[in-house]
C-alpha cells in the first residue's frame, strides 16, 4: 500500500498569492499516485484569504481549510496543520510557492533512503534561485545560519527554507512538543527532531524570490535570536520532556 501524503500550507493575509499556489499544488497532487490530502491553515487573516481558499478548494474532497480565530504566527499555523494531518508523510510549504511542490520528489527520495525529516535547502550544492536575493533576505539568512551554528543544531546549512517533509511519526513527536509560534519554529522543530533521534537530511531545491515578502531583517533577526535563546533554555530546563 502506498503511503498517504499530506501537504500543509500556512497562510496569513495571502489573498494575492495563495490562489496560484493552490492551483499548482492541486494539479500536482492529482497527477501523482500517492493518496493525498491538502490542508490550508488560515492564521487569522484579515484580508480575503479564506474566501480565495474556499473558492479554490470547493468540491475537492481531499482538501481542508482550518481557520484559527486570531493571528498567532507561522509556527502555530504549521503546528496546527501537521498535527491535524493524517498522512504517513507530511510536507509544509509556503503560500507564495517560493519552492514549488514539484520539488517534492527529491525530499521523498531522502525519506526512502532513511531520513525521517527531509528539508529543502537553498545552500546545499545543486540548489538554484531565479534571482539574487535582496540584501535584507541575505542578511536574514546569514543571521539565521549563525544562530544555528551557535550550538542548537548540527550539520544543517539552511534551517529557514519553508519546504520541509516529515514522516508521520516524526511530525507527531516533534510538533506535539513544539511551542514556538514565530520565525524560530523551524529551529525548534529541527532541534527536536535531532534530539529525538530522527535523521534529518537536506536536499537542494529551486527557490524563487518574492519581492512582496513580509520579512523585516532587523525585526525578524531580533525575534529569531530571542527564540533561539528561549529554545536553548527550554532544552536545558527539560521543558520538552527530553534529557538536557
Q: Is 94 a catalytic residue?
A: no
CATH number at residue 75: 3.90.550.10
CB 152 within 8 A of CB 229: no
Helix axes 49-57, 18-30, angle to 10 degrees: 20
Residue 60 covered by a domain: yes
The stretches in the chain having pLDDT less than 50 are none
pLDDT at 171: 98
201: DSSP letter: E
Which domain covers residue 121, as residue numbers? 5-132+157-212
Task: Give kind and range of the element (H or E) at residue 49.
Answer: helix 49-57
Q: How distant, in Å, are the alpha carbons of 4, 33, 35, 121, 169 from that of 1?
A: 9, 11, 10, 30, 17
Residue 189 covered by a domain: yes
Residue 85 covered by a domain: yes
Residue 142 covered by a domain: no
Residue 146 covered by a domain: no
* Cα 155 to Cα 137: distance, rounded to the nearest angstrom: 22
From the list 47, 186, 209, 210, the catalytic residue is 186
Cell, residue 176: 506535539
pLDDT at 129: 80
Task: Give kind and range of the element (H or E) at residue 120.
Answer: strand 117-121
Closest by CA to 224, choosing from 170, 150, 121, is 150
pLDDT at 220: 66
Amino acid at each position: 500500500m502506498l503511503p498517504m501524503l499530506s501537504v500543509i500550507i500556512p497562510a496569513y493575509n495571502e489573498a494575492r498569492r495563495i490562489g496560484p499556489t493552490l492551483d499548482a499544488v492541486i494539479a500536482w497532487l492529482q497527477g501523482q499516485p500517492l493518496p493525498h490530502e491538502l490542508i490550508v491553515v488560515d492564521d487569522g487573516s484579515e484580508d480575503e484569504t479564506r474566501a480565495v481558499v474556499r473558492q479554490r478548494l470547493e468540491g475537492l474532497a481531499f482538501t481542508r481549510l482550518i481557520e484559527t480565530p486570531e493571528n498567532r504566527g507561522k509556527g502555530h499555523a504549521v503546528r496546527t496543520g501537521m498535527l491535524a494531518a493524517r498522512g504517513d508523510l507530511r510536507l509544509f510549504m509556503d503560500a507564495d510557492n517560493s519552492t514549488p511542490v514539484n520539488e517534492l520528489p527529491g525530499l521523498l527520495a531522502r525519506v526512502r533512503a532513511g531520513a525521517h525529516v527531509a528539508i529543502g535547502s537553498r545552500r546545499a550544492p545543486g540548489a538554484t534561485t531565479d534571482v539574487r536575493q535582496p540584501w535584507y533576505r541575505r542578511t536574514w539568512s546569514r543571521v539565521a545560519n549563525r544562530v544555528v551554528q551557535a550550538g542548537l543544531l548540527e550539520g544543517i546549512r539552511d534551517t529557514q527554507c519553508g519546504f520541509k517533509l516529515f514522516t508521520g511519526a516524526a511530525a507527531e513527536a516533534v510538533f506535539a512538543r513544539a511551542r514556538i509560534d514565530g520565525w524560530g519554529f523551524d529551529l525548534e522543530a529541527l532541534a527536536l527532531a535531532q534530539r529525538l533521534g530522527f535523521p534529518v537530511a537536506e536536499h537542494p531545491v529551486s527557490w524563487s524570490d518574492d519581492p512582496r515578502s513580509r520579512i523585516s531583517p532587523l525585526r525578524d533577526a531580533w525575534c529569531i535570536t530571542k527564540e533561539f535563546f528561549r529554545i536553548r533554555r527550554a532544552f536545558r530546563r527539560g521543558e520538552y520532556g527530553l534529557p538536557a
